[in-house]
Chains A and B, each alone.
Chain A
């Protein structure tokens, strides 16, 4: 079965760029959407964006100016780059597969990675 694993620095300085990678195992990254979602400590879930394996993207409007989600199909990986971070970007960052039926509208995030805590602090 498909499994996802986030990796990257757990501490990022203010104003720098947060970079995380999600490695997909047990299946191909092709033919699906791949997403990043974050959760500040003690708070709810916030969708960051997704990328289709072919490269098309959709980003949360509130983060769009700072977010890039590239995909590397040769490595079965996709990444998150969030620039100009502040303390408000401190969160557990999850990667997840997003399934969306264009005709039905049915959609879900599944499976999810275990999440990785990124703290923004000097």
Chain B
């Protein structure tokens, strides 16, 4: 059974800074199976990245995804005020699985 771990649990940064979020799988997974979401308080999650690196429709290019095997990264190149949120990775093997999330908050 695959386990997803996200780090750090909380990332405190200022607007304009670069955010690097990690998602680690307990065993190697296909890059295609890795997806990222953003969730703001009181809202449903929003699809950001699928296939580890492809931005969903309407997602700004400051968001990028990378990685392979067990280690995947979501990078926000320059944080905008609306980017402070919780970010989840999700993987699909035999069934969907979410990571525990990384909260990006304002320093």
Contacts and interface: CB of A to CB of B under 8 A. Distances in A.
Interface of A: 35, 37, 44-47, 50, 58, 60-61, 94, 96, 98, 100-101, 104-110, 112-115
A107 B51 CA distance: 7
Interface SS of chain A:
strand
A6 B37 CA distance: 20
B32 A108 contact: no
Given A60-B95, A106-B33, A112-B46, 18 more contacts: A44-B98, A45-B37, A45-B45, A47-B97, A58-B95, A61-B95, A104-B32, A104-B51, A105-B92, A107-B50, A107-B92, A108-B47, A109-B90, A109-B96, A110-B56, A113-B44, A114-B43, A114-B44
A56 B32 CA distance: 23
A5 to B, nearest CB: 11
Contacts of B67: none
B28 interface: no
7 cross-chain pairs, A with B, having the tightest CB-CB distances, nearest first: A112-B44, A105-B32, A110-B47, A45-B98, A107-B92, A47-B96, A108-B50
A113 B97 CA distance: 19
Contacts of A35: 96
Given A47-B97, A114-B44, A100 B92 contact: yes
A22 to B, nearest CB: 12
